[in-house]
Structure 1
């Protein structure tokens, strides 16, 4: 009887947990999965209505504008992620291991920076590097020229600079958390044995930081793939990414089927990158367990 009572109690607990899971699952389905399903459905629906076909996908995939937007999205996202990883790693190293006045305040400011909207950072860059910004104003004051030479924010390089500026703290935050767990005794021992700073970073600090680098880099890559505000606020007319293409087709061209097709491609690309990230993390963790064994 005791075994049967225990099984009945476990069954009731399992049923209770399922019931508690229903409200959040229902809310998720209503607010996210259902609209997503409508987007996918619309991507297979012709503009004239009636039935479902792949005409929208064939038309979008055959468009040179879509292929250019896809390439622009990928290379800007990859370039921004690489820049964020290099800059974020260097800045996190300085904040975590180089004592200087204001280091703790700077670390706290990074947490605040994460809450800033992306367009605010872009607006700040426009005040500095825009055609009427501080850099050009200083140039005209010194040389007396009518206009300054700084005019790159409206190009892909301006978008790249804005995204690196905005997304670098998203790499620094997990790195700073990882660096706080590094045993400083290892660094002291390596230094006492004659190891120089680059070797200490490469052999002691970097292995501890790799999981955090992977997590931060993956997050930044996915966010860059879906970034809309930075590209829009820089005014880079020749820079068309997939989110900008969705906006153009839906709002400017009223091509809702084409917009949904591009949106589905963007979603598939983001989910594929997330799946790749999970595989890499699982492989790294398995390798670490084997090495520890």
Structure 2
């Protein structure tokens, strides 16, 4: 009687996962995304466009002067902050890229990254101390004889813009610095050797190469700005109402979740349009490289 040996097939090692294995690996992420992102988004749309008026709820929102003003103030103030932040961030990022002084680099880095290490309440309280009626700024201006009496700075749009600008600087400097590092400084020197001034060399050489980073910074800063809540409430008060504060009032004070949902959807639409505009202007691939 001959015994037949069973030949066992040893499965060879594969460098790639099978489709089922990959599905099991991403299953926890899909579950979390479904519970924390997809389901809330669907509920938001259902609440915003539900009974009694459906899509007419948007018309009801724009029929309210307070709601229109809040959305307008949110978009315009965020645009102002974004412009200031991107300009200052571009200068600071370029200084970090080109300076040879270690002390200058450390000072700029601390000024840029310190807001990231501080809590939001601490930063707002610092600006309250600076801008209050008898605060540091008014005291300095009075002692220098530039003003005769303290100026009202708190509860103004200026205070909101200043506070948001300080907090948003890192979000402009980091993408721009990542782009500047890839730019060969010899290109600027070559342009200057051909007769271009420093300003023209930066305008004609650096700005076109840094355009994806500039657009990425603009998109990031603006999208974050339109969702601000604490800074407009504590530094601006009623003079600078933001959509986030209107949403909070609709939910907790006025008990109008539908109105809050419509405001939230409009903010999402604005953010989506800004992102699409950025992708349209510089392209998806260049935007992705700028964001790292």
TM bucket (normalised to shorter chain) is 0.7 to 0.9
Residue 72 (structure 1) shift = 0.7
Q: 2:126 aligned to 106, 124, 127, which one?
A: 124
Q: Give the ranges of 4+ consecutive aligned residues of structure 1 lying more than 4 Å apart after TM superposition.
A: 9-12, 139-143, 283-286
In the TM superposition, 1:132-171 aligns within 5 A as 132-139=134-141, 148-171=149-172
Q: Deviations over 1:104-126 (max 9, x none)?
A: 32354334533434443332222
Q: Which residue of 1 aligns with 2:34?
A: 29
Following superposition, the deviation at residue 152 of structure 1 comes to 2.5
Residues of 2 paired with 1:107 and 1:138: CA distance?
A: 24
Q: CA RMSD in A?
A: 2.8
Match of 1:113 in 2: 115
When the two structures are superposed, what TM-score results if normalisation uses the length of structure 2? 0.82
Structure 2 unaligned segments of length 5 or more: list them.
Answer: 1-13, 288-292
Matching of residues 125-274 of structure 1 within 5 Å:
125-139=127-141, 148-274=149-275
> Quick check: 1:170–1:220 contact (8 Å CA) kept in 2?
yes
Give, in whole Å, the separation in 2 of the partners of 1:250 and 1:140.
Answer: 43
Check whether the contact 1:226–1:243 (CA below 8 A) recurs between aligned residues.
yes
Query: Taking structure 1 as the reference length, what is the TM-score of the superposition?
Result: 0.82
Aligned length: 273
Partner of 2:5: none
User: How far apart are the structure 1 equivalents of 2:97 and 2:17?
Assistant: 50
Q: What's the CA shift string for 1:137-175, capped at 9, x where partnerless?
A: 3455566x9x84332231112212222222122111111
- Say whether the 8 Å CA contact 1:135–1:148 is kept in structure 2: no
Quickly say closer, same or farther: Cα 1:170–1:285, change in 2 above 3 A.
Answer: closer
Q: 2-side partners of 1:184 and 1:139: how far apart? A: 41
Mean Cα deviation higher: 28-37 or 71-80: 28-37
